[in-house]
Amino acid sequence: MYDPRGLYVDPILTNFSVGWQDQTLYWNRLAPETPVDTPSGRYRVFDRSNRLIYRSRREPGTSANRIQGRKWSEDEFGTKEHSLAAEIYDEERRVLQSQGGLANATFGGDLQIDPERDATDDVMTSLTLEAELKVATTYRDLTQYPSNHVLTLTGGGTGTRWDNYAVATAGDPTTAYSDPVANFKTAFQRIYMDTGRWPNTIFFPFDAAGVVENHPRVIRRFQNFALTDPEAWQALMGLPNDATANLNIFVVDSKYNSADNIDLAENIVSFWGQDVWIGLVDQTPGQKTFTFAKTFSQKYSEAGGAVRPTENYRDEDRKCDIVRTSWSYDLKVVAGVGGFIIKTAVNAVT
């Protein structure tokens, strides 16, 4: 029987769960985590109210004109708890600890088998993959952007997808039907015009990375183009000297098994498809940061302010220990003008 008096927030497993990843994930690089003390609340939105010019002339003996404060969002974040648990049965421990069992050096070598840590692995795998899916789905959702922050490329013989290297005039790469350089210029300039800031983040799906580096229009302009070199982007697109000073380029390659059941055949799917994203990401937590999206994570006071505490407790009826990790969060797009999405930039690799 479950005994609530035996519930214990494990600081070692909690710290392990905070820093753990079994593959490179991008949810927190694109929608930075902002710890909050309350389950819901309003948040600052990016606007241009601070660019208003108020009448400042003051006559002797009169009060100074008062200005309006910055805008708060009409929306609010509302964290929802996500929690998963894994069981460690007494029978499993006996097998692991028995002579010749899996804990034996013959099987494990120098690896120390730790059932609690393995259980935390399994729980955190699912929780963070779910967060990755939420972020990828949100970033690829056209309704999150103003219409002029979306560019959808087409396929076919004269299509504009970047893997179409065909040219209208034989031998002239500047007439290629697809033009990633022009597409990126459009994205950079659109964000700058609407925010006054150059974008600082690009994510490429794995399918698109090599396509851009080898595109004839890119090679024509910059024969030694390096996809992850900010200075190369500055030269490629003729941007101002400071436009790419803090540019981060990610080739996003995270995947998940969409079968949703361990007994079904595996179906490994990319989170990111063939879409490319350009935008602003501010990793500084806080209400006044300007970033396309944020992950508001509620702190657990009973766990010393941790946002993903891991607990363990005993279920005597089932003769097992249970490891449980909880995470209460909400993903919000806080500045749609801070992002630009290029849909179906390339054809899917088969």
CA distance 292 to 279: 7
Strand partners, 167: 176
User: Is the pLDDT reported for residue 53 higher than 50?
Assistant: yes
Torsion angle (degrees, nearest 10) of CA 73, 247, 221, 272: -70
pLDDT at 350: 67
User: Is the pLDDT reported for residue 266 higher than 50?
Assistant: yes
Quickly state the pLDDT bin for 100 (edges 50, 70, 90). Answer: low
100 vs 194, which has greater pLDDT? 194
Paired sense of beta strands 201-205 and 150-152, if any: unpaired
CA distance 38 to 299: 8
CA distance 119 to 93: 13
- For the chain, how many residues are written? 350
pLDDT at 303: 86
Per-residue pLDDT averaged across 58-87, rounded?
A: 77
Q: Are residues 285 and 34 in contact, defined by beta-carbon separation less than 8 angstroms?
A: yes
Strand partners, 342: 151, 276
pLDDT at 2: 40
| Structural tokens at position 298 | 């509620």
CA distance 164 to 344: 12
Quickly state the pLDDT bin for 5 (edges 50, 70, 90). Answer: very low
* CA angle in degrees (0–180, nearest 5) for 32-44-326: 40
- Which of 57-61, 81-85, 164-168, 183-187 is predicted with the least confidence, judged by mean pLDDT? 57-61
Read off the pLDDT of residues 120-138 as tens digits, 9 standing for 90 and up: 888 888 999 999 999 999 9
217 vs 9, which has greater pLDDT? 217
CB-based contacts of 176, cutoff 8 Å, min separation 6:
164, 165, 166, 167, 168, 215, 216, 217
Strands (DSSP E) found in 101-163 = 150-152
| Structural tokens at position 245 | 């000073």
Distances (CA, A) of 124 to 23, 83, 93, 130, 307: 12, 10, 21, 10, 13
Q: Which of 61-65, 103-107, 193-197, 206-210 has the highest mean pLDDT?
A: 193-197
**CATH code for residues 4-343:** 3.90.1690.10
Read off the pLDDT of residues 22-38 as tens digits, 9 standing for 90 and up: 568 999 999 999 999 99
How many Cα neighbours within 13 Å face the side chain of 327? 24
pLDDT at 128: 92
Q: Which of 149-153, 177-181, 216-220, 245-249 has the highest mean pLDDT?
A: 149-153
